[in-house]
A and B are shown apart, each in its own frame.
Chain A
Amino acid sequence: GQQVMQIPQYQHVQEGEDFTTYCNSSTTLSNIQWYKQRPGGHPVFLIQLVKSGEVKKQKRLTFQFGEAKKNSSLHITATQTTDVGTYFCAGRDGYGNKLVFGAGTILRVKS
Chain B
Amino acid sequence: GAGVSQSPSNKVTEKGKDVELRCDPISGHTALYWYRQSLGQGLEFLIYFQGNSAPDKSGLPSDRFSAERTGGSVSTLTIQRTQQEDSAVYLCASSSPGGGLYNEQFFGPGTRLTVL
In the complex formed, the residue of A with least CB distance to B48 is A98
In the complex formed, the residue of B with least CB distance to A100 is B45
Residues of A within 8 A of B97 (CB): 95-96
In the complex, 30 of the A-B residue pairs with CB atoms within 8 angstroms, ordered by the A residue number, are A1-B58, A31-B102, A33-B104, A33-B105, A42-B108, A42-B109, A42-B110, A43-B91, A43-B93, A43-B107, A45-B104, A45-B106, A48-B102, A48-B104, A86-B42, A88-B42, A88-B43, A95-B97, A95-B102, A96-B50, A96-B53, A96-B97, A98-B45, A98-B50, A99-B33, A99-B95, A99-B105, A100-B45, A101-B45, A103-B41
In the complex formed, the residue of A with least CB distance to B59 is A98
Q: How many A-B residue pairs have CB under 8 A?
A: 54
Q: What is the number of residues of chain A that contact chain B, defined by CB distance less than 8 Å?
A: 25
User: Is B40 close to A, CB under 8 A?
Assistant: yes
Q: What is the number of residues of chain B that contact chain A, defined by CB distance less than 8 Å?
A: 25
User: Is A92 close to B, CB under 8 A?
Assistant: yes
Chain B nearest CB, measured from A106 CB (Å)? 7
Contact A106 B107 (CB under 8 A): no
Contact A104 B42 (CB under 8 A): yes
**Cβ contacts B65-109/A at 8 Å (1 or 0 each):** 000000000000000000000000001010101001010111111
Q: Which of B43, B91, B102 contacts A104 (CB 8 A)?
A: B43
Residues of B within 8 A of A45 (CB): 104-106
Contact A102 B104 (CB under 8 A): no
Pairs A-B, 9 closest by C-beta atoms: A45-B104, A103-B42, A42-B107, A98-B48, A104-B42, A101-B43, A31-B102, A43-B107, A42-B110
Residues of A within 8 A of B43 (CB): 43, 88, 101, 104
User: Is B56 close to A, CB under 8 A?
Assistant: yes
Contact A98 B33 (CB under 8 A): yes
Distance between Cα atoms of A100 and B43 in the complex (Å): 9
Residues of B within 8 A of A102 (CB): 42
**Cβ contacts B10-47/A at 8 Å (1 or 0 each):** 00000000000000000000000101000011110100
**Cβ contacts A67-111/B at 8 Å (1 or 0 each):** 000000000000000000010101010011011111110100000
Residues of B within 8 A of A106 (CB): 40
